[in-house]
Structure 1
Amino acid sequence: MDFSLPTELEAYLGELDAFIDAKIKPIEQRDDNIRFFDHRREDARTDWDRGGLPSEEWEALLHEVKRVADVAGHYRYPIPKEYGGQNGTNLGMAVIREHFARMGLGLHNDLQNEHSIVGNNVALLLMIAYGTEEQKRDWIDDLAGGRKGFAFGITEPDHGSDATHMETTATRDGDEWVINGEKTWNTGIHTAQYDMIMARTSGSAGDGHGITAFLVPTDTPGFDIVKFLWTFNMPTDHAHIRLTDVRVPHSAIFGGEGKGLQVVQHFFNENRIRQAASSLGAAQFCIDESIEYANQRKPFGKPLSVNQAIQFPLVELQTQCEMLRALIHKTAWSMDEYGAFSVSQQVSMCNYWANRLCCDAADRAMQVHGGLGYSRHKPFEHIYRHHRRYRITEGAEEIQMRRVAGYMFGFMDQKAPKGVDPTAA
């Protein structure tokens, strides 16, 4: 068995590093843009006069950097070549995401809002896989170029992780559908021109079938943002929205009538392995920084690093990183070889453990650095605040563990949902 990374992938990491040094870091240093990464001034990202939304300057900067990366050919790495991408692999995305996160926060990669110069453009991937020919003509170029996008209206206030008990409904009325209901944690809705609304069109509560995805313009009459939800990690772009007799044409259906959940499930595994790799990279960053500090800091006349109370917790964290890295690489490689749903159990293992590990590593880094680690002069409290949410939002860790148990005890089959191509990348 060969556990080495493909030579072309290692070479690409070097190319990305050179691109960051030559193109991204100068932008980061320009016009005091570093204020967005100076943790003492992190509130520069937040527009308090607009209720805690991301500041327009912050989001404009992220958009600019993505366009620079797109021109250079990096942003669309995982997208098929016919759409300007590189046919990037799941293994490649996992390795790149870990590599970026291990470098620390910066304009090259900031997971507070899923920003990266190598994009994980879920909306584009979904459009390529599920859009009608008309939708593809209308959407793909603008999605790839960042000129158009849609948010995801899935979670409901009273049901959380249970997407099958959906109270939002859509009723057919001639050539139109009338949608009523509420959604929460609708991320990115403050700028999205459309919202992908999941609504029950047939079946009963608890059924996986009978839920339909609709691409709903956010300026449609009856579409209202009720409030934005402030979180542990500001700024906020997570909204509670309400739909009251919202009318959309039949052509707004995305992915087929009654097949909405299958659309979302298609890329769950790809998203989760990439997010797990990012959490692993952030955990490794915290460990690396702690080791360096412990070697330099000399209270009572000797380095902190000679103390077993410092060594042993970091040894345990490093051991977990090494084991997790091997599992992530194997799982991502298996997804490339056998399909995204061939290793659902392992994806859940990687996801919940990586998110927990990152929080543990950030907490330990704060402890090693003492008061400085707890302060905003260091990034650890920011990393903890951000990655703590992934233990809930990327499929709560309890849901992931329940999923693993389902495979272990024979309650679930490790296969694609009905209607989803099991070999799809």
Structure 2
Amino acid sequence: MDFELPAKLVDYLAELDEFIEREIKPLEQTDDNIRFFDHRREDARTDWEKGGIPTREWEELLGKARRLADEAGHFRYPFPTEYGGRNGTNLDMAVIREHLARKGLGLHCDLQNEHAVVGNNVALMLMLEYGTEEQKAEWVDDIAAGNKFFSFGITEPAHGSDATHMETSAVRDGDHWIINGEKTWNTGVHAASADLIFARTSGNPGDARGITAFLVPMDAPGVKIEEYLWTFNMPTDHARVSVTNVRVPDGAIFGGEGRGLGVVQHFFNENRIRQAASSLGAAEYCIDESIEYAKTRKPFGKPLAANQAIQFQLVELKTQCEMLRTLIQKTAWYMDRDGAFSQSERVSMCNYWSNRLCCEAADRAMQIHGGLGYSRYKAFEHIYRHHRRYRITEGAEEIQMRRVAGYMFDFMPQRAPKGV
């Protein structure tokens, strides 16, 4: 058993670091762009007069960084070479996302809106896997370049974790469908070209089959953004959207009629393992900063690092990071070997524990840094507020634990091979 990372991946991390220092860091420091990352970040990023959505200047800066990354051959890394990528694996992406997040806040990686110079871009993965030829022709090039994307309309105001009881419905009308319902926490709809609306087209509430995904243009008659939901970490791009007698053709179906839940589960597994890696990296950043601060801060004449009360907190967090990294990379490796659905149990383990660990690491970093840690002059409060979200939005940690229990006690139809 070999735990060494592939030499090709290690070399790529060095290449990526060089690109960040050469192209991204100078842009971050130009024209007071640092205001988006220093103590002014929340105010600089938020258009308080337009429902709290991201400011135009903030999103334009992210766009510049994406274009630089795309021109340098980094942004599309996980995708096939025919789409400008480097055939990156799940293991590659787990390692890369941990690596980027561990660097702390910056234009190279800002997880508040899933921005990174190596794009996660799960929408492209889904389009390549489930899109029709017509949909691919319309979407692939723009999604790959980061110029166009669709939002996800899964959650409903009265139905969160249990998507199978959704009230949104679609009824066939000749070669078209009429969709009615309401979705909430639709991320990015202020700039999205379409919303991937999940609606029941057959079956009964609670049935896994009978849910269909529709690519609904945001400018379609009957689509309305009702409100943007202000959050713990601003700005917000999470909206409540209503669809009233929205008419779309058969060609809007994404992933097959009645098979929308499979699209959702594929999205969850691919995204959750990468998000877990990002939370791990952010936790390590908090620990690294706390270790250095404890070495140099000398209240009462001796460094904080000399106190076991400080040492033991960081030892426990560091130990958990080491164990979690092994599980994340093992899970990603098995996903590459056996497919995205093969490791659902372990993906949930990785995700709920990494998000919990990140919040704990940020909280401990605040405590060790004292008043400075509580201030916005350090990144810990931002990391805590952002990653606290993932203990809910990636599937509440209780749902993740319930999912693991389902495999453990044979309530679920699929599970990872025993003894592996």
Do the two structures share a fold, i.e. TM-score over 0.5?
yes
What is the CA RMSD across the aligned residues, in angstroms?
1.0
How many angstroms does 1:41 deviate by? 4.2
Counting aligned pairs with the same residue, the percent is 76
Residue of structure 1 in register with 2:385 after alignment: 385
Summarize deviations over 1:354-402 as a string: whole Å, max 9, x none: 0000000000000000000000110000000000000000011000000
Residue of structure 2 in register with 1:90 after alignment: 90
Matched residue type, 2:161: S
Residue of structure 2 in register with 1:38 after alignment: 38
Matched residue type, 1:156: E
Residue of structure 2 in register with 1:64 after alignment: 64
Question: 3-state DSSP class of the match of 2:248?
Answer: strand
Alignment of 1:5-24 (within 5 A): 5-24=5-24
Give ranges in structure 2 of 5+ residues lacking alignment: none
Instruction: Determine if the alignment matches structure 1 residue 294 to structure 2 residue 294.
Output: yes
CA distance in 2, matches of 1:297, 1:407: 47
How many angstroms does 1:48 deviate by? 0.8
Residue of structure 2 in register with 1:146 after alignment: 146
Question: 3-state DSSP class of the match of 2:163?
Answer: coil
Residue of structure 1 in register with 2:402 after alignment: 402
CA distance in 1, matches of 2:220, 2:212: 18
CA distance in 1, matches of 2:299, 2:187: 45
Query: Structure 1 stretch 275-284 or stretch 328-337: which is displaced more?
Result: 328-337
Matched residue type, 2:403: R
CA distance in 2, matches of 1:246, 1:41: 38
Summarize deviations over 1:303-338 as a string: whole Å, max 9, x none: 011001111111110110011011111111111112
Residue of structure 2 in register with 1:191 after alignment: 191
Residue of structure 2 in register with 1:334 after alignment: 334
Number of aligned residue pairs: 416
Instruction: Determine if the alignment matches structure 1 residue 349 to structure 2 residue 349.
Output: yes
Residue of structure 2 in register with 1:164 after alignment: 164
Matched residue type, 1:99: H
Matched residue type, 2:293: Y
Alignment of 1:21-420 (within 5 A): 21-414=21-414
Give ranges in structure 1 of 5+ residues lacking alignment: 417-425
Question: 3-state DSSP class of the match of 1:49?
Answer: coil
CA distance in 1, matches of 2:40, 2:377: 6
How many angstroms does 1:148 deviate by? 1.9
CA distance in 2, matches of 1:177, 1:335: 36
CA contact (8 A) 1:343 1:414 kept: no
CA distance in 1, matches of 2:357, 2:372: 21
How many angstroms does 1:40 deviate by? 3.5
CA contact (8 A) 2:42 2:235 kept: no
**Dislocated runs of 4+, deviation >3 Å:** none
How many angstroms does 1:146 deviate by? 2.1
CA contact (8 A) 1:341 1:415 kept: no
How many angstroms does 1:343 deviate by? 1.6
Matched residue type, 2:3: F
Matched residue type, 1:278: S
CA distance in 1, matches of 2:261, 2:143: 21
Matched residue type, 2:13: L
Summarize deviations over 1:32-57 as a string: whole Å, max 9, x none: 11100012443100011112110000
CA contact (8 A) 2:365 2:380 kept: yes
CA distance in 1, matches of 2:142, 2:302: 58
How many angstroms does 1:155 deviate by? 0.3
CA distance in 2, matches of 1:206, 1:243: 22
Question: 3-state DSSP class of the match of 1:267?
Answer: helix
How many angstroms does 1:415 deviate by? 5.5
